[in-house]
Structure 1
Amino acid sequence: MRRPFHLLFVVLAACGVAEQPDWARTVAAYEVPLPTPDDKARFVDVMSAAAEKEGLHVDSATADELRSLSEVSPITFNAAIWRGKNDEEALVSAMDFRDNIGRVWVTFSLGQDQALSNRLRDNLVADMKRQWPATASLPIMPNGGIPLVEDLVRTPDGYRVKTAAAAKYAAGPRDQN
């Protein structure tokens, strides 16, 4: 049993972080309060309506899939809006996780067709804010990531990085090369 583990470790250690294409870069992110199963079901409906307007589709995790994923780390929501029959490109990803259960983080990518991505984002964000007024923007860091929950503070205009944590987000991998 130890030999396969060590071989797996060697294979994983040899793998570097692949640079993401620019179109996959996160350009906007929001937190939407979805504390109940009904809220989550309504949100999938809102995502689906926005996706269908643009000829896109939504895939969302089933209750069984969420239970299975929660064995690794708690999660109660996981859905994405995809372009293409074979899920060629995720334009929107929405999920909660251990540190923000019931507060779903929705991220928007730049997209290969930026006009499509912009229309989708504008329509979905307007619907999110109309139906869930406590929706708040999340900061996007230079590396395209979103700060850890414990490094964020809520303001009237959305979240911002706490002053004490700002230095660790000042430069990302793209900035350090």
Structure 2
Amino acid sequence: MLRVAPILLFLCAACGAVEQPRSAETVAAYEVPLPTASDKRRFLALLTEKAEAADFHVDAATNDELKVASEVSPQTFSATVWRGKDDEEPIASAMDFQDRLGRVWISFSRGKDPVRSSQFRKSLMPAIKDGWPETASLPIMPNGSISLTRDLVRTPNGYIVDPLAAKTYEERTTIERP
């Protein structure tokens, strides 16, 4: 269940706006094409290698955990990079989802130690891009979210938000309640 917790956290976060600490702010995100089991194993090995080199660790969902999570929404990959042996802080999260199976989104948080978090990201991303050249950047919206897959348009430089959908992601300072 511990490994499914990050999945549930991200699913619950999509349910409504909640003030997050600055350290949890998403500062970068990418889509990595991992269509095969071999790609996923290689990616997880790379993620683990770079995390351990930065004194972080990775918790990844097992096939059985993914099967259970897929009963709610199909998923083939889920892993989180953590700071601290007791999972004190998520540094990065990588997962695919029902509308983009085999296309894993990895997002990076600012972290309580932004320099260390940035160094990890800067160490990892060139290796990912070398292994999966079709890796594309994802835009971070003004409200800190990553847009829905359906609202993204692929360009030679990564994804952008479809201009017709951009207003959906404008920063909201209050929560409307019925």
- Bin of the TM-score, shorter chain as denominator length: 0.7 to 0.9
Aligned residues: 160
| 1:1-177 mapped onto 2 (5 Å cutoff) | 17-171=17-171, 173=172, 175-176=173-174
1:59: Cα distance to partner? 0.4
Equivalent residue letter for 1:111: G
1:103-147 CA-to-partner distances (Å, cap 9, x unmatched) read 000000000011110110001111110110000000000111100
Please tell me whether the aligned partners of residues 82 and 88 of structure 2 are also in contact (alpha carbons under 8 angstroms).
yes
* Structure 2 CA distance for aligned equivalents of residues 149 and 17 of structure 1: 19
1:163: Cα distance to partner? 1.3
1:11 aligns to what? none
* Structure 2 CA distance for aligned equivalents of residues 143 and 165 of structure 1: 14
1:13 aligns to what? none
* Structure 1 CA distance for aligned equivalents of residues 92 and 147 of structure 2: 18
Equivalent residue letter for 2:165: A
Please tell me whether the aligned partners of residues 28 and 107 of structure 2 are also in contact (alpha carbons under 8 angstroms).
yes
1:2-23 CA-to-partner distances (Å, cap 9, x unmatched) read xxxxxxxxxxxxxx85411100
* Structure 2 CA distance for aligned equivalents of residues 157 and 45 of structure 1: 27
1:151-177 CA-to-partner distances (Å, cap 9, x unmatched) read 000000000001111111122x3x458
* Structure 2 CA distance for aligned equivalents of residues 148 and 17 of structure 1: 16
Equivalent residue letter for 1:81: V
Alpha-carbon RMSD: 1.3
* Structure 2 CA distance for aligned equivalents of residues 141 and 110 of structure 1: 15
TM-score normalised by length of structure 1: 0.87
Rg larger for: 1
Please tell me whether the aligned partners of residues 93 and 108 of structure 2 are also in contact (alpha carbons under 8 angstroms).
yes
* Structure 1 CA distance for aligned equivalents of residues 17 and 114 of structure 2: 25
Q: Which contiguous aligned blocks of 4+ residues in structure 1 show a shift greater than 6 angstroms?
A: none
* Structure 2 CA distance for aligned equivalents of residues 31 and 116 of structure 1: 22
TM-score normalised by length of structure 2: 0.87
* Structure 2 CA distance for aligned equivalents of residues 18 and 156 of structure 1: 34
* Structure 1 CA distance for aligned equivalents of residues 100 and 85 of structure 2: 31
SS in structure 1 at match of 2:72: coil
Equivalent residue letter for 1:146: I
